[in-house]
């Protein structure tokens, strides 16, 4: 009863690549602190940063069959996003699947489960964010949906939404908001240049952000240490 | 009431070293997806790969006395495998014990507990797979069994079985199956060469593994995305 | 109702820097196996070692306001120690706050919560020990105590106590015991030089530490493996 | 920037109450093993079973302000579903809020965070499924969305979808599928009556489900124990 | 090198018993949301509520020797508070120790580790809050401090401070603040009587707490659901 | 490639039933603190105590097929012991399987995974110790070994070994040691009768177990509290 949705519209790669210019923390802030996947997903090597269109895929616990189905749906610039239908730490993905994805222009993998062959994946420079590293193999008996909306690591993701991932984690940007979020991210970064200089010169955030009155209003008191 | 079993037979080192030529994921597959220790055991540095004969050791929680007993039983080519009799994250093992093990030809440590001095162990190039990194010291009051069969990280291990460990984790190969598993691993690797090339050239796993009919039989449907 | 204690006395930096000469495991042993923070705190890069005076700070869950307050209290040689008033994995701290701390001579951050911008923090060489890495931003609505005694990662820490942190974790040394602990650490290290040489030459811990009689008294038995 | 969506359409209560006649496991099966919230949500008392329309609510970590906003949107037959914008174990909810919800006809609470006053909630018979029990209080500084689609405990939930919860956990049924799922649940239960009798009489599942040939095809072998 | 501090002053039992009249959540609020132990500590039976003077005790991992030392220090009205020097889930405490404590007037046990004989402890009505239930026994080789200040489940506790524990968890009240906290708890409870009635009659928290203007100022918007 | 071992010898039921007369903690002690399964396995209702012969069964993640195979191997007095080949929290087992097991005289279930229908299982009085409660259903595609030695919750268990389980957890007794362990358990219980009376009368463990000299030798010091 599983479904593969074909011909899914992607976010234009020019826009995806613009978003790749900003870190996950910046984008997460720029879109109102939404869209961040659980920090249990960690990159297998660092430093790393990548952006791409979500190619979504559900897998049964201990079963990676639908990943093979998903490869056929890949387009250059995609990032494969895999979520198990119930929690699983098995090693769903390794060097051979990565080789196949690279051949189809896929830029990386986000998986709320385990991966293996991490030495080889690191040598290939194929970026992966996963919950676990595990050599545990999987079967091919049950097939899940491909290119349908999913929840991965606590966040709702639709095929063709933009995924940005770096050392800090993984964030999703809704396709229709991608241009706006890119603009806001740019504005945020510009705004930080000045702040960074002021902070580097020793100026206090208390003054830059004008916090003293507000803190006093909240009842913050200063007392001198007793000798 | 603890016991040390002496004169334990090992797997011949030539065979152990052959197994070291394959990754943990390959060996795990070659022996029918058995023998993999829990992925909670992680290497303290990467990349890394080692194989050796299991030198087994039980320790009480917060007590590393029997590790000292185990060192005397070490033979060149061994890997020390330590399991606590109840779960513990303390730092049972550090630079001095590693120095001692290296002097007796031991190739690494597998421990379902904590280790410390990881900067020094890394400098020495002494490989460790552990559950935790912790500076918490241990006492020497209770002694556990050495060179008896143990369960470590969820897997039954007998002294003299082969341990293979790499970036993906740790697997045990039963001594009497070691030759067979080496052969099957070799066959697996050869088989993957061709597959890797076909996948790298863009051929799909769906075709290479002839999955389409089986997927259809399972009811997989393809639908076009609604604009 | 939050309080900032000003003019807190620090441990003299000469003494702090002496303690920085020893690893966390050594110091933890030298002070009787006390003062070690939970191993859930891990460094964002390795190898690393730093020592400094604790600049303490409480934060509400998902709220980093008091970190800004704490910066003003910083003195050269401090290490900022942050604990949430209830458990939280959010990314309380990033590049801008690190820039500000560096400008005031702060040497690192210990936080029982999350941090972000870890690629930038790593480039800067600003050491952080945290529970999580997360891009999740925080608000500025609730202010916590600064420079009061806190419990961080299970350990009681007073402002001006010495923090030493390395690849193995984080330990606190009470200000009034710092000189004694430095001496005992020195003695421990000297003592280990000789032991390391004897162990490296193949001598057994069983003999160096004279354990055989005690082990026999505890009932340890040696049996030969059955063929 | 938070939003409250008013006048949300509910699933008719007659249909909701029909679904309440089936257990969570039955409904989960009837809708193709989808919609089950993470088993980390557990009821505060057992046995218990309830169904209602989802009244959704996002909360900031350590901040329960939007729950007060949600109460005003309540209609008889609703179940309040609360998700934090980042993980939090604080006690967001207690006796007073339960009293308020009961006054507006709300049937229970699903919260991927903590609750308190569980003795009082148990005495009142107000059912709660939560991640934690914690007395830790929350602030009222940041407001989240009310009656928008959310992800709670790993599942996407829209306001007005049906929640069914019992000793086994919590499942959501999409509003437009509720009637179909009720029918399939009924069919499942009827089908089980006969199976239960046959199994109770000692007949084997291997025979009832005609598994023997398939097992043999999969290579299952029977061997006699060695004495 | 362990120490037992004798003749520790307690909080007067009349005051302790007054505090027992309030729930943990109320007391936690009354003292400014401080003093709450980690919610990982759960009661072995419910409902339950008890208050007493903290009789503190440190134990080594897997070693309950100092609990025997602590019993001698017990006074009627005490609650034994046990913390391991490194995390441990073993069953440190069972029916015999409970029998001994009851004989000396001790009212309950708080332990950041495991207990056993929970069926017997439940039959005796001896209340326990623990991290785990485990039959795993412990040794008697290493002794820890008794009646010194400790950190238990994340909170700093001094001998003679008041412990209150119920279905919601465990809170500590500093001895010198006990009278004040009792008064504030009483005031809180009185204040809640009126609120409870208003909420029960259907009045909204939004109105009772006068939240509407503040919410609007924070930008909360109401929109009507699209059909 | 899975195997079912038939005609497995059991421990005589008279002996099993004798062991059922002792609690898990007692048996665990009587056999030298071995054989205890991880405390992550908890009973679905309390109080409870049962003993039986282990009927072992491996299952793939998310796949309960081999449980059906195991039922055919059941004999009166067995307890089904199920372990997944990689960690899984799904609900492998519910009312129908319990009905089938009861029809064949099986006394309970030990499973290092999830169960469902816990309200019904509780009504039936069918005892279960599990890692999770979850309604998540499983497939029937991969078959595991039945009646072979397994590791369950960290412990090595052979078919026909004795399982004893109660409120404190689960312990296994090797078949060939069952009689000896029963005797030692009996001796332990008798020994405790006298101790319990002495402790109940207020006598101290310090005196009963003659600990004072040993504690002094270990350096325990008594100091009087400073006012």
Pick from B3-12, C96-105, F218-227: least confident: F218-227
- Whether there are 3 or more C-beta pairs closer than 8 Å between D and B is no
Q: In the predicted model, is pLDDT for residue F212 greater than 90?
A: yes
What's the pLDDT score for residue A49? 98
Q: In the predicted model, is pLDDT for residue E180 greater than 80?
A: yes
Q: Decide if F33 and B85 are in contact by the 8 Å CB cutoff.
A: yes
For residue F199, what pLDDT band results from cuts at 50, 70 and 90?
Answer: very high
Per the CB < 8 A criterion, the answer to whether D98 and D71 are in contact is no
β-pair partners for F173: F162
Beta-carbon contacts below 8 Å between C and D: 42
Cβ neighbors of B154 (< 8 A, separation 6 or more) are B37, B38, F151, F154
Q: Decide if F86 and A90 are in contact by the 8 Å CB cutoff.
A: yes
Rounded to whole angstroms, the Cα distance separating A173 from F177 reads: 62
β-pair partners for B110: B81, B129
What's the pLDDT score for residue E1? 76
Per the CB < 8 A criterion, the answer to whether B90 and B137 are in contact is yes
3-state secondary structure chain A: CCEEEECCCCCCHHHHHHHCCCCHHHHHHHCCCCCECCCCCEECCCCCEEEEEEEEEEECCCECHHHHHHHHCCCCCEEEEEEECCCCCCECCCHHHHHHHHHCCCCCEEEEEEECCHHHHHHHCCCEEEEEECCCCCECCCCCCECCCEEECCEEECCCCEEEEECCEEEEECHHHHHHHHHHHHHHHHHHHHHHHHHHCCCCHHHHCCCHHHHHHCCCEEEECCC
What's the pLDDT score for residue C98? 98
Q: Decide if F7 and D219 are in contact by the 8 Å CB cutoff.
A: no
Q: What is the pLDDT of residues F41-77, one digit of tens each?
A: 999 999 999 999 999 999 999 999 999 999 999 999 9
Those residues of chain A that have pLDDT short of 70 are none
A198 in reach of chain C (CB within 8 A): no
And the tokens for E187? 């005031």
Name which of D6, D96, D100 is nearest E224 (Cβ-Cβ): D6
With H, G, I as helix, E, B as strand and everything else as coil, classify residue B87.
Answer: coil
Q: Which chain F residues are within 8 Å of E7, Cβ to Cβ?
A: 224-225
Rounded to whole angstroms, the Cα distance separating B134 from D184 reads: 53
And the tokens for B140? 């020497």
- ω before B47 within 30° of 0 (cis)? yes
Q: What is the dihedral of CA C188, C194, C196, C198, to 10 degrees?
A: -150
What's the pLDDT score for residue F181? 98
Cβ neighbors of F115 (< 8 A, separation 6 or more) are F44, F91, F92, F93, F94, F109, F121, F128, F130, F132, F133, F134
From D44's Cα to the closest Cα of chain C, the distance in A is 21
- In chain E, positions 115-144, which contact chain B (CB-CB < 8 Å)? 134, 136, 139, 141-142
Q: Decide if F218 and E137 are in contact by the 8 Å CB cutoff.
A: no
Closest by CA to A86, choosing from D155, C110, F176, is D155
- Which string of DSSP letters, residue by residue, matches F17-69? HHHTTS-HHHHHHHTTS--BPPTT-EESSSS-EEEEEEEEEEE-TTB-HHHHH
Closest by CA to B18, choosing from B42, B41, B46, B52, is B52
Closest by CA to E134, choosing from E98, E93, E87, E90, is E90
Instruction: Tell me the mean pLDDT in the region E126-130.
Output: 98
Q: What is the pLDDT of residues E195-220, one digit of tens each?
A: 999 999 999 999 999 999 999 999 99
Distance of CA B40 to the CA centre of its chain: 11
From B36's Cα to the closest Cα of chain C, the distance in A is 25
B57, B59, B135: best mutation site toward chain C, by most C Cβ within 10 Å? B135
Beta-carbon contacts below 8 Å between A and C: 122
A135, A139, A175: best mutation site toward chain B, by most B Cβ within 10 Å? A135
And the tokens for B218? 């399972």
Per the CB < 8 A criterion, the answer to whether C101 and C55 are in contact is no
Per the CB < 8 A criterion, the answer to whether E47 and D146 are in contact is no
Q: Which chain D residues are within 8 Å of E29, Cβ to Cβ?
A: 137
Q: Decide if F204 and E140 are in contact by the 8 Å CB cutoff.
A: no
Q: Decide if C151 and E149 are in contact by the 8 Å CB cutoff.
A: no
- Whether there are 3 or more C-beta pairs closer than 8 Å between A and E is no
The set of chains that have 3 or more CB pairs under 8 A with A is: B, C, D, F
Q: What is the pLDDT along chain D (227 residues), one digit of tens a residue?
A: 799 999 999 999 999 999 999 999 999 999 999 999 999 999 999 999 999 999 999 999 999 999 999 999 999 999 999 999 999 999 999 999 999 999 999 999 999 999 999 999 999 999 999 999 999 999 999 999 999 999 999 999 999 999 999 999 999 999 999 999 999 999 999 999 999 999 999 999 999 999 999 999 999 999 999 87
- Whether there are 3 or more C-beta pairs closer than 8 Å between C and F is no
Q: Parallel, antiparallel, or unpaired for β B128-133 and B109-115?
A: parallel
The set of chains that have 3 or more CB pairs under 8 A with F is: A, B, D, E
Q: Which chain E residues are within 8 Å of F211, Cβ to Cβ?
A: 65, 68-69, 140
- Which string of DSSP letters, residue by residue, matches C154-210? TEEE-TT-EEEEETTEEEEE-GGGHHHHHHHHHHHHHHHHHHHHHHHTT--HHHHTT
Mean of all residue pLDDT scores within chain F: 97
- ω before C47 within 30° of 0 (cis)? yes
Closest by CA to D97, choosing from D83, D86, D118, is D118
- The complex scores an ipTM of 0.96
Q: Which chain A residues are within 8 Å of F90, Cβ to Cβ?
A: 61, 86
Q: Decide if D117 and E25 are in contact by the 8 Å CB cutoff.
A: yes
Phi, psi of D178 (to 5 degrees): -60, -45
What's the pLDDT score for residue A80? 98
Q: Which chain E residues are within 8 Å of B136, Cβ to Cβ?
A: 86
The set of chains that have 3 or more CB pairs under 8 A with B is: A, C, E, F
Rounded to whole angstroms, the Cα distance separating C213 from C210 reads: 7
Q: Decide if D32 and A154 are in contact by the 8 Å CB cutoff.
A: no
Closest-CA residue of E relative to D116 is E168
Q: What is the pLDDT of residues F24-37, one digit of tens each?
A: 999 999 999 999 99
Per the CB < 8 A criterion, the answer to whether F152 and F80 are in contact is no
**Could you report how far apart the first and last alpha carbons of chain F are, in Å?**
73
Rounded to whole angstroms, the Cα distance separating D219 from A26 reads: 54
What's the pLDDT score for residue B226? 83
Q: What is the pLDDT of residues C162-189, one digit of tens each?
A: 999 999 999 999 999 999 999 999 999 9
Q: Which chain D residues are within 8 Å of E222, Cβ to Cβ?
A: 3-6
Closest by CA to E158, choosing from E35, E28, E26, is E35
Rounded to whole angstroms, the Cα distance separating E165 from E184 reads: 18
Q: How many CB atoms lie within 10 A of CB E48?
A: 16
Q: In the predicted model, is pLDDT for residue F213 greater than 80?
A: yes
Closest-CA residue of C relative to A170 is C135
What's the pLDDT score for residue B144? 96
And the tokens for F36? 């205890």
Instruction: Tell me the mean pLDDT in the region B137-148.
Output: 96
- Percentage above 90 pLDDT, chain B: 99
Q: Which chain E residues are within 8 Å of F168, Cβ to Cβ?
A: 91, 116-119, 133-135
Mean of all residue pLDDT scores within chain D: 97
β-pair partners for A155: A152
Rounded to whole angstroms, the Cα distance separating A45 from F49 reads: 49
Q: What is the pLDDT of residues C15-52, one digit of tens each?
A: 999 999 999 999 999 999 999 999 999 999 999 999 99
For residue B135, what pLDDT band results from cuts at 50, 70 and 90?
Answer: very high
Q: pTM (2 decimals)?
A: 0.97
CA distances from E22 to D204, E26, E27 (A): 56, 6, 7
Q: Decide if C114 and A39 are in contact by the 8 Å CB cutoff.
A: yes
Rounded to whole angstroms, the Cα distance separating F101 from A68 reads: 39
Phi, psi of C187 (to 5 degrees): -60, -40
What's the pLDDT score for residue D132? 98
And the tokens for C47? 């190898």
And the tokens for E90? 């073993």
- Which string of DSSP letters, residue by residue, matches chain E? --EEEES-----HHHHHHHTTS-HHHHHHHTTS--BPPTT-EESSSS-EEEEEEEEEEE-TTB-HHHHHHHHT--TTEEEEEEESS---SB---HHHHHHHHHTT---EEEEEEE--HHHHHHHT--EEEEEE-----B-S----BSS-EEETTEEE-TT-EEEEETTEEEEE-GGGHHHHHHHHHHHHHHHHHHHHHHHTT--HHHHTT-HHHHHHTT-EEEEPP-
């Amino acid at each position: 009863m599983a479904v593969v949705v074909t011909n899914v519209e992607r976010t234009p790669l020019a826009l995806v690549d613009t978003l790749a210019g900003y870190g996950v923390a910046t984008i997460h802030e720029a879109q109102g602190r939404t869209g961040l996947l659980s920090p249990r997903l960690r990159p297998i090597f660092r430093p790393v940063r990548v952006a791409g269109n979500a190619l979504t895929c559900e897998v049964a616990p201990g079963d990676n069959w639908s990943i093979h189905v998903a490869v056929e749906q890949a387009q250059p610039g995609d990032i494969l996003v895999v979520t198990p239908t119930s929690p699983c730490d098995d090693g769903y993905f390794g060097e051979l699947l990565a080789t196949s994805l690279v051949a189809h222009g896929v830029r990386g993998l986000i998986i709320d489960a385990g991966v293996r062959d991490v030495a080889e994946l690191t040598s290939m420079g194929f970026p992966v964010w996963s919950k676990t590293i595990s050599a545990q193999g999987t079967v091919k008996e049950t097939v899940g949906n491909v290119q349908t909306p999913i929840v991965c690591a606590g966040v709702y993701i639709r095929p063709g939404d933009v995924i940005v991932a770096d050392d800090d984690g993984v964030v999703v940007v809704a396709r229709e908001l991608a241009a706006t979020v890119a603009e806001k991210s740019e504005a945020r970064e510009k705004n930080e240049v000045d702040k960074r200089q002021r902070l580097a010169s020793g100026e206090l955030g208390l003054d830059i952000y004008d916090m003293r009155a507000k803190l006093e209003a909240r009842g913050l008191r200063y007392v001198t240490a007793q000798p």
